[in-house]
Amino acid sequence: MATLNIDIEKEQQRVQSELEKQGLRVLVCAGTGCVANGALEVIKKFEEFGVKTGVMSAQDKITIIPTGCHGFCEQGVLVGIPKLKTTYVKVKVEDVEEIVESHIKGGKVVERLLYVDPKTKERIQYDEDINFYKKQTRTALANCGNIDAESLDEALAVHGYEALAKVLIQNDPNAVIDTILKSGLKGRGGAGFPTGLKWKFAAANRGGKSYMICNGDEGDPGAFMDRSVMEGDPHKLLEGMAIAAFAIGADEGYIYVRAEYPLAIKRLRKAIKEAEERNYLGKNIMGSDFSFEIHIKEGAGAFVCGEETALMASIEGERGMPRPKPPFPANKGLFGRPTVINNVETLANVPVIIRKGADWFSSMGTENAKGTKTFALTGEVNNTGLIEVPMGTTLREIIFDIGGGIRNGKKFKAVQIGGPSGGCLTEEHLDVPMDYDNLAKVGAMVGSGGLVVMNEDTCIVEVARFFMNFTQNESCGKCVPCREGTKNLLHILQKIVKGRGTEEDIETLEELSAAIKDGALCALGKTAPNPVLSTLKYFKDEYMAHIRDKKCPAGVCSALKQYTIDETLCKGCTKCARNCPVGAIEGTVKNPHKIDQSKCIKCGACYDACPFKAIKKG
Residues forming the site for other proteins (CB under 8 A) = 302, 304, 319, 321, 323-324, 326-327, 472-481, 483-488, 491, 508, 511-512, 514-516, 518-521
Q: How many CB atoms within 10 Å of residue 487?
A: 13
Nearest to residue 350, comparing CAs of 577, 125, 159?
159
- If the CB atoms of residues 51 and 204 are measured against other proteins, the closer one turns out to be 204
Is residue 481 reached through a cis peptide bond, with omega within 30 degrees of 0 on the bond before it? no
- If the CB atoms of residues 106 and 301 are measured against other proteins, the closer one turns out to be 301
- Give the pairing of strands 385-390 and 412-417: unpaired
- If the CB atoms of residues 302 and 414 are measured against other proteins, the closer one turns out to be 302
CA–centroid distance for 500 within its chain:
36
d(CA 432, CA 446): 12
- If the CB atoms of residues 134 and 487 are measured against other proteins, the closer one turns out to be 487
| Residues 381, 413 contacting (CB under 8 angstroms) | no
d(CA 491, CA 514): 17
CA–centroid distance for 442 within its chain:
22
Please state the closest distance from residue 613 (CB atom) to other proteins, in A.
42
Please state the closest distance from residue 339 (CB atom) to other proteins, in A.
18
Please state the closest distance from residue 476 (CB atom) to other proteins, in A.
6
Alpha helices per DSSP H over 249-384? 262-277, 308-315, 344-356, 358-362
Please state the closest distance from residue 490 (CB atom) to other proteins, in A.
9
d(CA 405, CA 420): 24
Please state the closest distance from residue 320 (CB atom) to other proteins, in A.
9
- If the CB atoms of residues 399 and 492 are measured against other proteins, the closer one turns out to be 492
d(CA 115, CA 593): 44
d(CA 317, CA 319): 7
d(CA 172, CA 290): 12
d(CA 309, CA 335): 11
Partner residues linked to 387 by β-bridges: 375
Nearest to residue 184, comparing CAs of 378, 364, 17?
364
Please state the closest distance from residue 501 (CB atom) to other proteins, in A.
13
Partner residues linked to 295 by β-bridges: 254
Q: How many CB atoms within 10 Å of residue 102?
A: 15
Please state the closest distance from residue 515 (CB atom) to other proteins, in A.
4
Please state the closest distance from residue 336 (CB atom) to other proteins, in A.
12
Please state the closest distance from residue 143 (CB atom) to other proteins, in A.
37
- If the CB atoms of residues 247 and 516 are measured against other proteins, the closer one turns out to be 516
- If the CB atoms of residues 469 and 579 are measured against other proteins, the closer one turns out to be 469
Nearest to residue 247, comparing CAs of 181, 308, 189?
181
- If the CB atoms of residues 68 and 320 are measured against other proteins, the closer one turns out to be 320
Q: In Å, what is the CA distance from 303 to each residue of 3, 220, 471, 523, 591? A: 44, 8, 9, 12, 56
- If the CB atoms of residues 391 and 464 are measured against other proteins, the closer one turns out to be 464
d(CA 445, CA 222): 15
Please state the closest distance from residue 293 (CB atom) to other proteins, in A.
25
Nearest to residue 310, comparing CAs of 240, 260, 256?
256
Please state the closest distance from residue 252 (CB atom) to other proteins, in A.
25
Alpha helices per DSSP H over 300-433? 308-315, 344-356, 358-362, 395-396
- If the CB atoms of residues 324 and 618 are measured against other proteins, the closer one turns out to be 324
| Residues 497, 555 contacting (CB under 8 angstroms) | no
- If the CB atoms of residues 425 and 482 are measured against other proteins, the closer one turns out to be 482
- If the CB atoms of residues 262 and 327 are measured against other proteins, the closer one turns out to be 327
Sheet holding 24-29, edge to edge: 62-67, 24-29, 79-81, 86-88
- If the CB atoms of residues 140 and 533 are measured against other proteins, the closer one turns out to be 533
Using only the alpha carbons of the chain, give its radius of gyration: 27
Please state the closest distance from residue 382 (CB atom) to other proteins, in A.
36
Q: In Å, what is the CA distance from 170 to each residue of 1, 166, 252? A: 5, 6, 21
Please state the closest distance from residue 278 (CB atom) to other proteins, in A.
34
